[in-house]
Amino acid sequence: MQYVARNYDHLLGMEGFSDTLLKNHFTLYNGYVTNTNKAAELLAGMLAEDRLGPEYAELRRRFGWEWNGMRLHEYYFDNLGGAGSAPGTGFMAAVAARWGGFEAWKKEFLAIGAMRGIGWVVLYKDPVTGDLFNAWINEHDVGHPAGATPVLVMDVFEHAFLTDYGLKRADYLGAFWKNVRWAVVESRIG
């Protein structure tokens, strides 16, 4: 299976994100797609040649990093471009049921995003119970709740904001928030 990088050029010109930052971020994402394909190809060759030793094991572990880097960026870019759109009633009801209201959920989500360190903030849906919960993902391949569905994904690695905001992460969080494409977020709740 060959993965194909998606085109996110429609996000260029988005308020709060320079084209330079976005183009750099798209290049990074394309690298994850390329490396996912390379790792998959190498793993298939090693399997066919019955070379299943330490090199195979390490590459198999690396595949998770590359694949999750690819997918998390796709979730992230897909939920951007909302230009001030508002959350739908389904989303509002879902967060109200869990947090008592939108503002309480938003406060927690952004507080996680403001934490020191690199990673991701993800609002997940538990497919078993239907519950929503916010989570911090430190590295692409570590800490994902098994089976949980990402609903809203925010990249808080430095490459997502340093070019435009330097160390002012709070300003980036505000720009992200203004650009959430709520229709996409709502569609992920299902």
Distance CA 99, CA 22 (A): 32
**Over the stretch 23-33, which tens digit does the pLDDT of each residue have?**
999 999 999 99
pTM of the full predicted structure?
A: 0.95
- The answer to whether 131 and 98 have CB atoms below 8 angstroms apart is yes
State the pLDDT at residue 84.
83
Distance CA 63, CA 47 (A): 14
- The answer to whether 76 and 153 have CB atoms below 8 angstroms apart is yes
Place of tokens 């990093």: 65
Locate 58 and state its tokens: 């390490």
Instruction: Name the CA dihedral angle for 137, 107, 188, 88, rounded to a multiple of 10 degrees.
Output: -170
Distance CA 172, CA 162 (A): 9
Distance CA 72, CA 153 (A): 7
Mean pLDDT of the chain: 96
**Over the stretch 150-189, which tens digit does the pLDDT of each residue have?**
999 999 999 999 999 999 999 999 999 999 999 999 999 9
| 136-171 b/e (C-beta count within 10 Å ≥ 16 → b) | ebeebbeebeeebbbbbbbbbbeebbebbbeeebee
- DSSP string covering 82-95: -TT----HHHHHHH
Instruction: Write the CB contacts of 69 (distance below 8 Å, at least 6 apart in sequence).
Output: 29, 32, 36, 140
Q: What is the pLDDT confidence band of residue 139, given thresholds at 50, 70 and 90? A: confident
